[in-house]
Copies of this chain bind each other. A is one copy, B any other.
Amino acid sequence: MPREKKIDMVILGLLSHEPLTGYDMKKRIDGAIRFFWNGSFGNIYPSLKELENNGSITRCEVTSDGREKISYKITASGKEELRKWLRDEQASNELKYETLLKLFFGGVEEKNVTYHNIEVFENKIRGDLEMLRTYGKVLEKDLENEDHLHYYLTVSFGIDSYEAYLKWCAKAKKLLNGRAQR
């Protein structure tokens, strides 16, 4: 069983752009990345150590002006590791939607319960979509920038699928209402 731990790739990917502290990485992840991947401190810091130990990253700045702060940068071998992962066409794409699970088994409860669950989902999506559109508008302005382009593609993936979700919500609600309310 080869090492998995994709958080390593997130870290290497972030560092391929700019040096960062673990704390800052968390903030980046909580930005747009969170829509398709997440990380926690208890996840990031141990990984940072391992990546440093095997030479994928190095500390580039340690400001010990009272409060400690460790910035890391990616090494040549770390960059190669990242590239190797990118070139590997294997990718796990996993969706775990509890809302769909509740929908699937919704038959044992009244229809308005399912209806309500869809509405909760809908509201969450609506909020997230708005946020993604804001990101998108900023990025659209400069797609010539390599990084902006890739960033934009992921954001537009989110926008497109969330729009599809909302259309489905409307359809689903109509279908549920069409049948007699039990």
**A residues adjacent to B (C-beta < 8 A):** 6, 9-10, 12-13, 16-17, 33, 35-37, 79, 82-83, 85-87, 89, 91-109, 113-114, 116-117, 120-121, 124, 143-144, 146-147, 149-151, 153-154, 156-157, 160-161, 163-165, 167-168, 171-172, 175-176, 179
Contact = CB atoms under 8 A, between A and B. Distances in A.
A102 B114 contact: no
25 contacts: A10-B101, A16-B108, A17-B107, A33-B101, A36-B97, A36-B104, A37-B97, A37-B101, A82-B108, A83-B108, A86-B105, A87-B109, A89-B120, A91-B102, A93-B97, A93-B98, A100-B157, A103-B153, A107-B146, A149-B179, A156-B168, A160-B165, A160-B167, A161-B161, A161-B164
B168 A104 contact: no
Copies of this protein in the assembly total: 2
A94 B96 contact: yes
A13 to B, nearest CB: 3
Contact of A175 (B13, B94, B143): B143
A91 B105 contact: no
A28 to B, nearest CB: 11
Contacts of A94: 95-97
Contacts of A161: 161, 164-165, 168
Given A13-B101, A86-B109, 7 more contacts: A6-B98, A83-B109, A86-B102, A86-B114, A92-B96, A103-B157, A161-B165
Contact of A151 (B85, B102, B104, B151): B104
